Chain A
Amino acid sequence: DQQVKQNSPSLSVQEGRISILNCDYTNSMFDYFLWYKKYPAEGPTFLISISSIKDKNEDGRFTVFLNKSAKHLSLHIVPSQPGDSAVYFCAARPNFGNEKLTFGTGTRLTIIP
């Protein structure tokens, strides 16, 4: 049973436009959410996170939105750049001091020059 789902395995976006990556979760105990970015032959790199007490967190070109009622979060990248081409993983953890992060399967983002 996959508790964190990224239903789009791939996404292509024109350079300069907005990229929107989506993530859905089923476990209502999740209260902290993270996005990781992974280039080929490298490990995932932390990108941005959001706590369940917020509905938006922004860092430069990256913004994460959280809709708790829909159990949905999204990552917006604007404007998209060629260097943003990578696999993006959504991850979540519950609110009772458990170290375990649950990851989605990832979305491969390709930015078209």
Chain B
Amino acid sequence: ETGVTQTPRHLVMGMTNKKSLKCEQHLGHNAMYWYKQSAKKPLELMFVYNFKEQTENNSVPSRFSPECPNSSHLFLHLHTLQPEDSALYLCASSQDLPYEQYFGPGTRLTVT
């Protein structure tokens, strides 16, 4: 039990669909992150939220839209994705600066 949960664990969507990924952390942390992990590539940071405020958008296309309604919840809204967006999407949280980030299990996304 890592204290960070993600739903759904698997998602298959067409390029015209709209879907959302959800992340919840039960650790009392202030910062939350979205990462993308593609095959044979390093983890890529997408977004950072600190105290519900977005502090980093790592040049992510607008078809990915994050939402952080409070320090415990983080969403990633997806629309008109491309097949190359198929990847494992990981959520993480940390207390203030990310000396140690705690990761959720990830959502395996397949875009058809």
Contacts and interface: CB of A to CB of B under 8 A. Distances in A.
B8 to A, nearest CB: 13
A34 B100 contact: yes
Given A43-B92, A44-B103, A46-B101, A99 B42 contact: no
A2 interface: yes
Interface string B6-50: 100100000000000000000000010100000011110100101
B52 to A, nearest CB: 14
Given A99-B31, A105-B40, A45 B100 contact: no
Contacts, number: 59
Given A99-B48, A99-B97, A103-B43, A43 B105 contact: yes
Interface string B44-63: 01001010000110100000
Nearest to B102: A46
A43 B41 contact: no
A97 B48 CA distance: 13
Contacts of B102: 46
A103 B101 contact: no
Q: What is the interface residue range for chain B against chain A? A: 20 to 34
A98 to B, nearest CB: 9
17 contacts: A41-B105, A43-B90, A43-B92, A43-B103, A43-B106, A44-B103, A46-B101, A46-B102, A49-B99, A49-B100, A99-B48, A99-B97, A101-B101, A102-B42, A103-B42, A105-B40, A106-B42
Interface of A: 2, 4, 32, 34, 36, 41-46, 49, 89, 91, 93, 97, 99-106
Interface of B: 2, 4, 6, 9, 31, 33, 40-43, 45, 48, 50, 55-56, 58, 90-92, 97-106
